[in-house]
Structure 1
Amino acid sequence: MKRRFLAMAAGAACFLLASCSENTKTQEQAALSSPPAQRLPTAPENGPASVEQPADQGQKLTGEVSELSAEASDLGAQMTDLGLMIQFNTDVLFDFDKAEIQPDAQADLEKLARVVQEYAKSKVTIVGHSDAKGDAAYNRALSERRAQAIADWLQRHGVSSTQKFKVEGLGETKPIAPNTKADGSDSPEGRQQNRRVEIVIS
């Protein structure tokens, strides 16, 4: 009877060991098949991180200008892809077929000088244009003499001699209005618009 009891006890022990082993294997398999737990993001200790902003590079003429000076506004200055542009009709600045500045143009040129002085480190390009009436070569030469006359005036009236100036005469090659009407007749209004000088500060 004692042997029978020992045999029953040994059988029970084997059964318990088998059950424990099976449970352990099942738990290990479940752990392997389960996806790893994702770590939730934690809030920064000092509040949300801010996006680093580029340092202020200052006002650039090739970009937008927030506020033009009174003189620039009075002269109808506009910001273009080339820079700050001021345009004069040459009929206001010069007599017909001449490149000497009229006395009546002094007030506007004084405003122009102050605008140029505001951008003392910038380049100033002065471009003369004409209408299409007359000889093309003559018109180009006249438009260049007029542009040069404005550059000379500015340098005589307070604009630093170290400022970079570029002078061009394009004559009739860059019209902004038709020189003739649709029927081929002359267009005085169009030709007047084309007779101009453009000052670009860049």
Structure 2
Amino acid sequence: MRRRAAGPHTLGAGAVGAALALVLTPAAAADTGEVAGDPDAVTEETLADAVVPIDPAPSVIGIAPSESVEELETEKSEGGTTTVTIAADVLFAFDEASLTDEAQDTIAGIAGRLEGAGGTVQVVGHSDGIGDDAYNQELSEDRAEAVKGAIEDELGSAAPDIEAEGRGSSEPVAEETDGEGNDVPSARAENRRVEITFEGD
């Protein structure tokens, strides 16, 4: 997972404390020659200048902070055919079929392996079981088409033949409820996926 570098205005707790002290302390040390602070001069503006916002921890849409992108992309090879499975939460915002900006790097990495691939590349979208079947079918189809289009855009004339289809929630790989009927969010996330199958490795 990429980590965002601290911004130029991010200060540690000690620096913030020092800034507040300059604003709020009624008198400064006499031997430093500093001008004493005036408590009556404290305003909303001076406090706003002293308090520095801290960036929140980085995250990826749909992914818990403890999980990595690598764990949400798997690969299986069998009989000369490779299937790369990508969690839909890596590629799309919730209930959306437009690829996120972050998804472009993932697609570019896979597209490089498909250049000049023999046969037809299959892109299959899958949804979780939330919602009705017709809606899930349409969403899975739209997501498969979005991935297909991104691969074709990435490779241009070198793109292989690609077929896209959606299978809705008809082929789950994990049980979405436990034995007591309680929802299992991690299983639903596992079922939301796009599979790319091609000849070779």
TM-score, normalised with respect to structure 2: 0.59
Q: Matches of 1:183 and 1:96 in 2, distance apart?
A: 26
Match of 2:87 among 77, 86, 89: 89
Match of 2:126 among 121, 126, 129: 129
Match of 2:193 among 180, 196, 199: 196
Gap change, CA 1:89 and 1:82, over 3 Å in 2: farther
Instruction: Quote how far apart the aligned CAs of 1:185 are.
Output: 1.2
Instruction: Quote how far apart the aligned CAs of 1:182 are.
Output: 1.0
Gap change, CA 1:153 and 1:110, over 3 Å in 2: same
Gap change, CA 1:139 and 1:161, over 3 Å in 2: farther
Question: What amino acid does structure 1 have at the position aligned with 2:175?
Answer: P
Q: Matches of 2:183 and 2:80 in 1, distance apart?
A: 32
Contact 2:127 2:193 in 1 (8 A): yes
Instruction: Quote how far apart the aligned CAs of 1:161 are.
Output: 6.3
Contact 1:116 1:159 in 2 (8 A): no
Contact 1:123 1:163 in 2 (8 A): yes
Mapping for residues 4-19 of structure 1, pairs under 5 Å: none
Count of matched residue positions in the alignment of Structure 1 and Structure 2: 127
Q: Matches of 2:178 and 2:171 in 1, distance apart?
A: 17
Q: Matches of 2:80 and 2:123 in 1, distance apart?
A: 12
Instruction: Quote how far apart the aligned CAs of 1:77 are.
Output: 2.7
Gap change, CA 1:92 and 1:129, over 3 Å in 2: same
Show the counterpart of 1:60: none
Give SS of 1:141's match: helix
Show the counterpart of 2:137: 140
Contact 1:147 1:197 in 2 (8 A): yes
Q: Matches of 1:162 and 1:95 in 2, distance apart?
A: 26
Deviations 1:98-152 (A, max 9, x none): 11100011111111110111x4323100000011011111001100100000000
Mapping for residues 98-137 of structure 1, pairs under 5 Å: 98-117=96-115, 119-137=116-134
Show the counterpart of 1:169: 166
Q: Matches of 1:127 and 1:82 in 2, distance apart?
A: 19
Contact 1:82 1:200 in 2 (8 A): no
Show the counterpart of 1:3: none
Q: Matches of 1:179 and 1:133 in 2, distance apart?
A: 9
Q: Matches of 2:186 and 2:74 in 1, distance apart?
A: 20
TM-score, normalised with respect to structure 1: 0.59
Structure 1: gaps of 5 or more residues: 1-74
Question: What amino acid does structure 2 have at the position aligned with 1:88?
Answer: I
Aligned-CA RMSD value: 1.7
Structure number, greater radius of gyration: 1
Show the counterpart of 1:155: 152
Gap change, CA 1:76 and 1:193, over 3 Å in 2: closer
Identity among equivalent pairs (%): 35
